[in-house]
Amino acid sequence: MTAWAYTTLSVLMISLISLVSVVTIILGPQRLDRIIPLLISLAVGALFGDALVHLLPQAFEDSLSPALVSLYVLMGILLFFLLERFLHWHHEHHAQSMNPIHPVAYVNLVADAFHNFLDGVIIGASYLISTPIGLATTLAVALHEIPQELGDFGILVHAGFTPRRALLMNLLSALLAVVGAVVSLLLGPMFGGYTSFMLPLIAGGFIYIAGADLIPELHHEHELPGSLAQFAMILAGIGLMYLLLLVE
């Protein structure tokens, strides 16, 4: 019951992050585009930190075969690569999009809905392992979701949606995380070794997202002060993951 309670609260919090898109209207896209790289940097550190500080050490501790853990990590990296290639699961991390083609908005919504469903599966599986692992994974997912949701909102608005409708569609898409969490909590205990398999798979996915999806976004910064600020935020994200070790 503890796993259910924590998972429910976590996925509801993750879903409500979609409402952060309203700050796009308040701040305006140009000002927000200066903030988003710092949020992306924080997410990079959190994703790498959760994968390497929490998930992989636990996976090696639980597994009888380190080689098998490494294989599952590689499977996670390849799985997320395939998702990005075949489901167009690459998010623009900017407050505005220059492509006003309306169908692009629906492709983005479908990909984002599946992404949110998978987030729920990941969070549910993490809480089945332990509450500290679940908390760390929830935080890593949340920090990644903030810049992503801002970018998704911008894509929908510039593809023809009104701000109110874009906000509603983002929220409905985000609620798929609840469905994913329920599926994970219901089916996970039925399969022996579910958590042992999911730990390195999630770690591989986080490594791929941080390294292949987010870090390239940071290379658009060419000024030294901006680059140093990004590096500091990456360290802050890693530091947050280390701080969570205190509750384990």
Report the pLDDT value the prediction gives residue 118, as an integer from 0 to 100. Answer: 92
pLDDT of 117 strictly over 70: yes
User: Smallest Cα–Cα separation from 8: which of 188, 147, 138?
Assistant: 138
Task: Write the Ramachandran bin of 28: left for phi over 0, alpha for psi from -120 to 50, otherwise beta.
Answer: left
Q: At 98, is the pLDDT very low, low, confident or very high (cuts 50, 70, 90)?
A: very low
Task: Write the Ramachandran bin of 160: left for phi over 0, alpha for psi from -120 to 50, otherwise beta.
Answer: left
pTM, full prediction: 0.84
Nearest-angstrom CA–CA distance, 248 and 244: 7
Q: What is the mean pLDDT of the chain?
A: 86
Q: At 112, is the pLDDT very low, low, confident or very high (cuts 50, 70, 90)?
A: confident
Nearest-angstrom CA–CA distance, 239 and 10: 21
> DSSP states of 80-125 as a string?
HHHHHHHS------SS--S---HHHHHHHHHHHHHHHHHHHHHHHH
Q: At 110, is the pLDDT very low, low, confident or very high (cuts 50, 70, 90)?
A: confident
Report the pLDDT value the prediction gives residue 97, as an integer from 0 to 100. Answer: 45
Q: At 100, is the pLDDT very low, low, confident or very high (cuts 50, 70, 90)?
A: very low
Q: Which two tokens stand for residue 89?
A: 């699961």
Report the pLDDT value the prediction gives residue 64, as an integer from 0 to 100. Answer: 67
Report the pLDDT value the prediction gives residue 29, as an integer from 0 to 100. Answer: 67
Mean predicted confidence (pLDDT) in 120-139? 94
Report the pLDDT value the prediction gives residue 247, as an integer from 0 to 100. Answer: 64
pLDDT digits (tens, 9 = 90+) for 44-92: 999 999 999 999 999 998 876 899 999 999 999 999 898 878 765 555 5
pLDDT of 35 strictly over 90: no
